[in-house]
């Protein structure tokens, strides 16, 4: 069997550069990752997807897609305008593959919380012959109404999916299905014949309503950013890193200080954090504290933990770059834990940008992982535990 013959199910992710509602939408970050990368990651984690393809007209999107592990098909301008249909982009991508898959999974970047298990469920319905096409949907028992086409100043409404005179209980009703826009699955031959995504026996793939969010506006993007820490934490993605770097104030501390009459400062730290750092050191994982402030409490805490400290650092990116080079570490396999805007630089240069739960919104927005605990209250220990747990898993 040739390599092409083994690629029976192909996921295609259309991601054009232009966006009217949210400029640059497909590269906007949710949970620290561009939306296009989140879509690629979900598809790659699905066990029934053999190849992931991103079709785009944009160089930056193409680079992000390749970094996430996708193959890129460059879309011509005629198929990249806001009036171009998704179907036209899908057909172009299929023609560019060089082989014909049997099943097509169409995934949209605008749904940031796709579950690979749901993708597999949809593919199974079509690939195993139970349906010709399928789409992600949530069950709804809501009573829907539609405005009547009258000319009055106040438009009256009529029931759509119910008899207004009869109000049965939820448990006595069959659900309707609301299309989420997250993904669609199609038999390729049937799709080519029909020219659209709904044909033949069409099935709905139930997905959780709590994460069935589609981003078409800045408000929905903000909602996704707020949800990401909860959804991504629930997924418990293994934090596979070779080193951990942290800020000090607001990370090892609660960002408060006690100052006596002589001007001496004292801070509150967590003993649990100390245990976590000790466990990392015992596992051979280097730990570094980088602080903008130069203070004896930072030195004292670093000495107590037995870790390297760089303090009085104005340029954290330069300091971290030098430390990584000195230790021969790949930035992609390093975690940086921060809380404030002066951490944005180093957060952007590592593979695992991490934020404490009470970090600034700007920091949480770029974080790949937002911890459950705040600074000074076990956040460092939480990250240490995640790193150690990942090292115990098979690679």
The residue ranges of every structural domain in the chain are: 3-141+173-220, 243-391
Greater confidence (309 vs 164) lies with: 309
Task: Give the mean pLDDT of 309-336.
Answer: 95
Domain 243-391 falls in which CATH fold?
Rossmann fold (3.40.50)
Lowest mean pLDDT among 51-60, 222-231, 296-305: 222-231
Residue 4, pLDDT > 60, answer no
User: Between 3.10.180.10, 2.30.42.10, 1.20.1250.20, 3.90.550.10, what CATH number should domain 3-141+173-220 receive?
Assistant: 3.90.550.10
Which residue is listed with tokens 């107590």?
A: 304
Compute the C-alpha angle 69/179/147, nearest 5°.
145
Mean pLDDT, residues 358-367 taken together: 84
Express each pLDDT in 53-106 by its tens digit: 999 999 999 999 998 899 999 998 888 787 789 999 999 999 999 999 999 999
**pTM exceeds 0.75, yes or no:** no
Among 339, 332, 343, 345, residue whose Cα is nearest residue 375: 339
The confidence band for 130, taking pLDDT boundaries of 50, 70 and 90, is very high
Q: What is the largest CA-CA distance in the chain?
A: 82
Strand segments, DSSP code E, in the chain are 9-14, 29-30, 33-34, 51-56, 71-74, 103-107, 133-140, 145-147, 157-159, 176-187, 202-206, 243-246, 258-259, 265-266, 287-291, 308-311, 334-338, 352-355, 369-370
Report residue 1's pLDDT band, with 50, 70 and 90 as the boundaries.
very low
Which of 11-15, 90-94, 253-257 bottoms out in mean pLDDT, i.e. has the lowest? 253-257
DSSP structural state of residue 245 = E
Question: Is residue 11 scored above 50 in pLDDT?
Answer: yes
Per-residue model confidence (pLDDT) at position 80? 79
- Helix-helix angle 59-68:35-45, to 10 degrees: 30
pLDDT(168) > 90: no
CA separation for the pair 126, 385 (Å, rounded): 41
């Amino acid at each position: 069997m040739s390599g092409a013959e083994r690629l029976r199910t192909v996921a295609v992710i259309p991601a054009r550069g232009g966006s009217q509602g949210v400029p640059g939408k497909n590269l906007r970050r949710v949970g620290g990752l561009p939306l296009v990368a989140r879509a690629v990651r979900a598809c790659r984690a699905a066990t029934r997807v053999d190849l992931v393809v991103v079709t785009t007209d944009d160089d930056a999107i193409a680079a992000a897609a390749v970094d996430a592990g996708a193959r890129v098909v460059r879309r011509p301008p005629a198929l990249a305008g806001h009036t171009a249909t998704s179907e036209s982009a899908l057909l172009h991508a299929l023609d560019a593959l060089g082989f014909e898959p049997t099943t097509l999974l169409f995934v949209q970047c605008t749904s940031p919380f796709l579950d690979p298990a749901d993708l597999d469920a949809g593919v199974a319905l079509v690939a195993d012959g139970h349906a010709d096409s399928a789409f992600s949907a949530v069950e709804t028992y809501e009573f829907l109404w539609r405005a009547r086409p009258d000319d009055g100043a106040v438009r009256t409404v009529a029931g759509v999916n119910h008899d207004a005179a009869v109000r049965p209980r939820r448990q006595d009703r069959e659900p309707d299905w609301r299309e989420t826009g997250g993904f669609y699955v199609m038999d390729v031959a049937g799709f080519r014949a029909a020219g659209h995504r709904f044909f033949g026996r069409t099935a709905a793939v139930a997905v959780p309503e709590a994460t069935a969010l589609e981003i078409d506006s800045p408000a929905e993007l903000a909602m996704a950013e707020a949800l990401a820490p909860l959804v991504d934490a629930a997924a418990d993605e293994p934090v596979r890193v070779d080193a951990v770097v942290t800020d000090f104030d607001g990370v090892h501390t609660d960002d408060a200080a006690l100052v006596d009459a002589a001007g001496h400062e004292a801070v509150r730290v967590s003993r649990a954090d100390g245990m976590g750092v000790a466990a990392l050191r015992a596992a051979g994982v280097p730990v570094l504290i980088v602080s903008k402030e130069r203070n004896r409490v930072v030195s004292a805490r670093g000495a107590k933990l037995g870790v390297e400290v760089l303090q009085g650092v104005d340029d954290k990116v330069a300091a971290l770059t030098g430390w990584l080079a000195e230790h021969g570490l790949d930035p992609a396999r390093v975690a940086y834990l921060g809380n404030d805007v002066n951490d944005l630089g180093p957060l952007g240069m590592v593979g695992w940008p991490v934020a404490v739960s009470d970090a600034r919104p700007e920091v949480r927005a770029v974080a790949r992982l937002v911890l459950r605990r705040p600074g000074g209250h076990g956040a460092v220990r939480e990250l240490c535990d995640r790193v150690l747990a990942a090292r115990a898993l098979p690679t």
